[in-house]
Amino acid sequence: MMPLAALDWHSVFFLLFAALACACAVAVVLAENVVRMALYLVFSLGATAGLFFLAGAEFVGAMQLMIYVGGTLVLLVFGVMLTAQAPFVSIKTAPGDRVLAGVIGAALLAVLLQSAFSVADWRKPAVGREGEPAATPLGMALLGTRVDEAPAGAPPGIRSGYLLPFEIVSVHLLVVLVGAAYLARAKRRRTPRPIEVAASMEPPASLAAHAAAGRESARGGSVLAGGPR
């Protein structure tokens, strides 16, 4: 057994979160049941938030948990629940398509891994520099002012903040949510409901006319008499 003192706990937790994220991502692909896919996706994205914390990006990790896992995935799970009629919970993929997707996925993974290992700078062991808390510099950068240190090797000069992208993203989010609410709104019924028919009718001039109208509608099988719509 390896002595505990020799372990790098940062690496141990990295392996834990990385294995969880990758295994759950593969499970999303392999699962047939859409509810299970949503569950695996929650675990995968949560483990990725753990990886962000380990990389020193604590603000991004917190946002990942709050927006992605807490917001986007809840939205997705609601979508699953709204459409999860029995025949659609698991829609089978043809076996030939599975084989083809596996081959293409393996080829893509080979290319990506080859390019990831091809740069010498990325393969060198990390020196483990201490980072500063990123929340305040990020907030200031979103307001257009940079208070963080320039990274090593960056060209000198004024660095721009993110005020304009921040505004664009916020307006984009507003437009998108209004559009989503418009797209997903309840449809207007083609046949008016009885209460609407009653409200749109002229008030009867006399009691006799009212009775005649009632008899008429009963014979004609109108909406008010409970006939076919």
Partner 1 sequence: MAPFAPPLFASLLTEPVGVVHYLVVGAILFTSGVVCMAMKRNALGVLMGIELVLNGANVNFVAFSSPYLQADGAKSLGLDGQAIALFVILLAAAEAAVALAITLNFYNNHATVDVDRADDLKG
Write out the binding residues for partner 1, residues 181-200 only, by CB under 8 A. 181, 183-184, 187
Q: Is 122 in the site for partner 1 (CB under 8 A)?
A: yes
Cβ count within 10 A of residue 57: 17
Q: Give the interface segment with partner 1, choosing from 68-76, 192-200, 201-209, 210-218 (CB under 8 A).
A: 68-76
Extract the tokens encoding 95.
């076996």
Please, what's the b/e burial string for 129-157 (b: 16 or more CB within 10 A of its CB; e: otherwise)?
Answer: eeeeeeeebbeebeeeeeeeeeeeeeeee
Between 160 and 226, CB nearer to partner 1:
160
Reading the block at residue 193, the tokens are 């409901």
**Site for partner 1 contains 227 (CB under 8 A):** no
Q: How far is the CB of 195 from partner 1 (least distance, A)?
A: 23
What is the smallest separation between the CB atom of 207 and partner 1, expressed in angstroms? 45
Cα dihedral 203, 208, 210, 212 sign: negative
Number of Cβ within a 10 Å radius of residue 27? 16
Under the binding rule (CB under 8 A), the answer on residue 223 touching partner 1 is no
Q: Scanning residues 150 to 179, which ones bind partner 1 (CB under 8 A)?
A: 150-154, 162, 165, 169, 172-173, 176-177, 179
